[in-house]
Structure 1
Amino acid sequence: MRSTARVLKNHPIHPMLIPFPIAFFSATILCDIIARLTGSRDAFVLGYYLGIAGVVTAILAALPGLMDYSGSVPPASSAKKYAIWHMLSNLLVIAVFLAAWFLKRPEGLRPEWSTLILEAIGAGLLGFAGFLGGTLAYRFQIGVDHYYAEAGQWREITIENTFGDAVIVATPDELQVGQMKLIRIATPNSGQERRVVLARGQNGYLAFDDHCTHQGGSLADGACIRDYVQCPWHGSQFNMTTGQVNAGPAGQPVSTYEVRQTGSRIELLIRDLGKRAA
């Protein structure tokens, strides 16, 4: 799923920033160990400033991460659970290293054992958070803007559900056969969002939920294979016309929606979206 916070041809920002707090926190621990063992004033002062640099850069790295959490991780999915733990772990890392920093006295010569213990806990949490981040990137493909043959570039739009019969979602020639587009449908004054995939199959435009019924993977991020869509996480396949499962591990069908062409407009009928969402 393409990163929400991105630059330079869709490159995600979050992984560009996370090496900085990792490096600063690691160097902080090393300097404090040296200062504790040798009484080196220089090592103590360097560790003091590296600690606050780690906290500041961690907060900066968290901002695009929060954007990806909100916009790129599919809702109600197994990846969302990993993302929550990843976020909480990193917040704890910041809190622990900040507490360790406050325990240091700028005029001191060496850190207390309590400071080193806190930093050791922070290092463990940092490794756990990194494990979760790797799982999100490599297993769930969060932040990965991958391509397959003839898929075209990633497309998505956000529209407001005005509780009418239909909304315009594309033009007849916007998608080629085998291409898809993510439609985010926001409900006014509720903060809720419905995600629907618009796809062009061999016989025209089709629409279905952007939610694999196995573990909630984004089908818009998958691949069209003739009349089927394949989830990128575990390979479940669904008929894009009927929503029925063609291949597991998913066991339940996805909801499908009516699409019609009116002149030069492709319209999605949304009058029953709320019923199917329930």
Structure 2
Amino acid sequence: MSELAELLHGDQLRSQNRDGGGPNPDFDKDDLVAAWIILSGIPERPEKMPSIVLDPSQFDDATSWLGGLPVASKQFIWPRSKYGKSLHFMGQIDLKSLHACYEGVTPLKSPASGAIAFFFDRDSWSAIYIDAQAIVMGSSIQPPEDLGSLRELGFFRDDKMFSKLPVRLRAEADSRSGENTTVTGHRLFGHGWVRSDLAYDLRGRDPVLTIEADKSLGTESEHEAGLSFWQGRRSFQDNSFNGGFVCQHNVC
């Protein structure tokens, strides 16, 4: 069995025979693991993929941040889900810094200035482009009154917003065959998380944003190690992010 298979299932993987008792001698663990890997979409992505790590920064004037509030003009319209519920703000990424990481080559057909602001709930996520002038001349946008608390999403806090965590962008090659096949940390793109994605059909999708459980940010919850935002490959390439897929990552 491969190293990835051992990580996903270990020696505890078993199948029962028809009467419900004991392991099935005809059961092939490798076959089932291979089926799960296909469902996870892993073969569709190369061994190494570009990734942007979002490292915590000590500078409050950082141009990218997670949590806190979005910065935009007064005309900014807070996004809502397809069910009409206000989405929670997850972070704002400076596009100039993003383009600088790979010298202007990114998976996004985005301008080289301004920012992308991420919003989500348990059903979907959305990315909103904010132009540079709106950021310079704008201010922090307060959330709508009807926005629920983060506890309603399973996080350990009654606030409507996560704590602000300034971040700096750092490029790296995200390899799925490294020592840790489950990606950790806050990041853009890459492989996304492997182990707990098996509960979802991720074929044809790519990860856009991955957020780990982080006490300083406030994304800790009882049963989850974090969450990630995925998008269909065609929609991803067209920058049509509305209606993306939210994947919750279990601790065990």
Q: Does the TM-score normalized on the shorter chain lie above 0.5?
A: no
For the pair shown, the structure with the greater C-alpha radius of gyration is 1
Q: TM-score, normalised by structure 2?
A: 0.21
Q: Which is bigger in relative contact order (C-alpha 8 A, separation at least 6)?
A: 2
Which protein has the bigger strand share? 2
